[in-house]
Amino acid sequence: MRMGVLDIGSNTGHLLVVDAFRGGPPVPAHSYKEPLRLAEQLDAGNLIAEEGVSRLVKYVVEARAEAAEKGCTTILAFATSAVRDADNGDEIIARVNEASGVDLQVLAGEDEARLTFLAVRRWFGWSAGRLGVFDIGGGSLEIAAGSDESPDVAHSIPLGAGRLTRDWLDAGRSTVDLRLHIREQIAAKAGSVLRGGTFDRAVATSKTFRSLARICGAAPSTDGQYVRRVLRKHDLSALVEELRTMTPEAISQLPGVSPDRAHQIQAGALVAEATMDLFDVSELEICPWALREGVLLEHLDHL
């Protein structure tokens, strides 16, 4: 069957159209994306500004039309950290759904981590053993670990690259203090993850980690999804030092960095470095599947 998975992330709205059936991998057929930057549009009152809401409504209406044009029979639609954390989140959801006819739902942070873990488990299989899975989004960092299809532990921490860029870097606050803030937040959750044992495989997903890996020498996306890609800690640490003196314009010229995310790379790199350090991971393998695939796989499992 042809289905659409509509992901309203803290950075980007992304409709992924796939041909899917239970027992087989979803095959991408079409993609429709729009940078929304919702994590950066929370005002002092913790409300997403009208400009951001209007852009979101417009995008979802267009995404539904795009899905219909591509023959989708079902749209699975969800919103993550930015809408979840906004005090006007319920109003935004109601407005989007009324305008578009889409049943957009807010995904809890722990569910975001759990479903990303499911996608990674299905990609690598049982031979991967105990998995540690890390995902840096625009609004939050998701961490999950376990040996089964569902993780033993799943955390969502408000350390997204967009959030930190807005609250710290754009505000002119100290990067030294930001580094310590990130490490304090991750360390508070690390014990519950590590009590289950070391990872047989440590995995990273989604755009920020993919961009960091590409900058550090991983193969480009044009080489296909089955090429093994890794992010090594010593390469990342060297990159973190370089990024301190680079402008967003210069960062946007690095391989794998899109112009709309260049200003967030420094914050994302600090989160990634702290994650690898505090979990004593020397190498993260990049998984091409993430939250969207997890949502789809769980839906197919329950048909």
pLDDT digits (tens, 9 = 90+) for 61-107: 999 999 999 999 999 999 999 999 999 999 999 999 999 999 999 99
Question: Any residues with CB less than 8 A from the CB of 141 and at least 6 apart, and which?
Answer: 134, 135, 156, 157, 158, 159, 160, 186, 271, 275
Produce one character per residue of 168-194: b if its CB has 16 or more CB atoms within 10 Å, e if not: bbeeeeeeeebbebbbeebeebbeebb
Can you give the pLDDT at residue 76? 98
Can you give the pLDDT at residue 42? 85
The fold of the 110-291 domain, in CATH, is Nucleotidyltransferase; domain 5 (3.30.420)
At 45, is the pLDDT very low, low, confident or very high (cuts 50, 70, 90)? confident
Radius of gyration over alpha carbons of the chain, in Å? 18
- For 48-59, what is each residue's pLDDT tens digit? 999 999 999 999
Can you give the pLDDT at residue 303? 82
In CATH, the number for domain 2-107 is 3.30.420.40
Find the mean pLDDT for residues 158-170.
Answer: 95
Residue recorded with tokens 């079409």: 30
User: Is pLDDT larger for residue 302 or for residue 283?
Assistant: 283
pTM, 2 dp: 0.96
CA–CA gap between residue 121 and residue 150 (Å, rounded): 9
Q: Could you give the dihedral angle defined by the CA atoms of residues 230, 235, 236 and 240, in that order, rounded to the nearest 10 degrees?
A: -160
- For 15-41, what is each residue's pLDDT tens digit? 999 999 888 899 999 999 999 999 888
Find the mean pLDDT for residues 97-122.
Answer: 97
Q: Where are the domains of the chain?
A: 2-107, 110-291
Can you give the pLDDT at residue 40? 87
Find the mean pLDDT for residues 2-7.
Answer: 97
Can you give the pLDDT at residue 281? 97
At 300, is the pLDDT very low, low, confident or very high (cuts 50, 70, 90)? very high
Can you give the pLDDT at residue 43? 84
- For 244-268, what is each residue's pLDDT tens digit? 999 999 999 999 999 999 999 999 9
Q: Do 110-291 and 2-107 fall under one CATH topology?
A: yes
Report in angstroms the alpha-carbon separations of 18 from 5, 183, 207, 242, 296. Answer: 8, 38, 19, 39, 9
Average pLDDT, the chain: 96
Question: Any residues with CB less than 8 A from the CB of 169 and at least 6 apart, and which?
Answer: 175, 178, 263, 266, 267
